[in-house]
Amino acid sequence: MKADNTDKQENIVMSVDAATVHDWIENNQALLVDVRETSEFDKEHIPGALLLPLSAFDPELFPTIRDKKVVLHCAVGKRSETAGKMLINEGFTDIIHMTGGIEEWKKAGFETEIPYHPPQEVKTPEPVFLCPPVGEVLQQEYLGPLGLSSTRLADAIGVPYETVEGILAGTTAVTAELSLRLARYFSTAADFWLQLQSDHDLEQARYKVGTEIRAKIIPRVAC
């Protein structure tokens, strides 16, 4: 209730215990106002409590409830008393705060709500590979820019069409012979294509079984 400001000095913040507040709420005689911060409220709060954080508390916007007692509460009773004094200074009367706050409420065995927040799925970051597949290099740096098809390359280096398609798809590994054929046609170093294959395979192996190998195999120490 709000009164004329001339009477505000006579008003004090009335304190009541958790048991009394619980009885009032059970009989639908009180509205509980939680002046803790949103982060605190989200972790745990009293069922039915209205959240009005003290950090943003504005007495001028405080609701006027005529048919119920309005009870302020916080964690231990300090902030709710402060909010009550702010309301008195604005001209409100019959200001009530719950001593001991939500901590005393819990000690008395009364119910609180703890919202359930399902654990967020932790996504494993996608691995970053530095050694591209041979087929990717072949397509992006040779066949594409030169306008060559798989068929033309297969004919040019003397291998079945399926072999070139396998390299591009990553299902056929480059052998020493294939490296020589590709090197001859594209004028690269003889081991260029074989080295690409080796670097890619080693990187993939490190990702898949590197940790297991390091854990299970102990380096030999010279006697």
* C-alpha to C-alpha distance for 103 and 90, rounded to whole angstroms: 28
Choose the catalytic residue: 32, 49, 52, 74: 74
Q: Which residues contact 170 (CB under 8 A, 6 or more apart)?
A: 133, 134, 135
Spans of the chain, pLDDT less than 70: 1-11
Of residues 131, 115, 130, 2, the one with CA closest to residue 49 = 115
Give the integer Cα–Cα distance in Å for 92 and 104: 26
Sign for the pseudo-dihedral over CA of 68, 18, 55, 43: negative
pLDDT score, position 189: 95
Q: Which domains occur in the chain, in start order?
A: 5-107 (3.40.250.10), 134-205 (1.10.260.40)
pLDDT computed for residue 204 by the predictor:
94
Token pair in block for residue 82 = 């402060």
92 - beta bridge partners?
A: 2
Q: Is 223 an annotated catalytic residue?
A: no
pLDDT digit string (tens) for 155-174?
Answer: 999 999 999 999 999 999 99
Q: Are 4 and 86 in contact (CB under 8 A)?
A: no
At 8 the pLDDT is 45
Cα separation, 43 vs 106, in Å, equals 14
Supply the pLDDT for residue 1. Answer: 53
Q: Ramachandran region of residue 7, left (φ > 0), alpha (ψ -120 to 50) or beta?
A: alpha
Tokens of 121: 């799925």
What pLDDT sits at residue 11? 60
Write down the pTM of the prediction.
Answer: 0.52
pLDDT at residue number 6: 45
The answer for residues whose C-beta is within 8 angstroms of residue 204's C-beta and 6 or more apart is 129
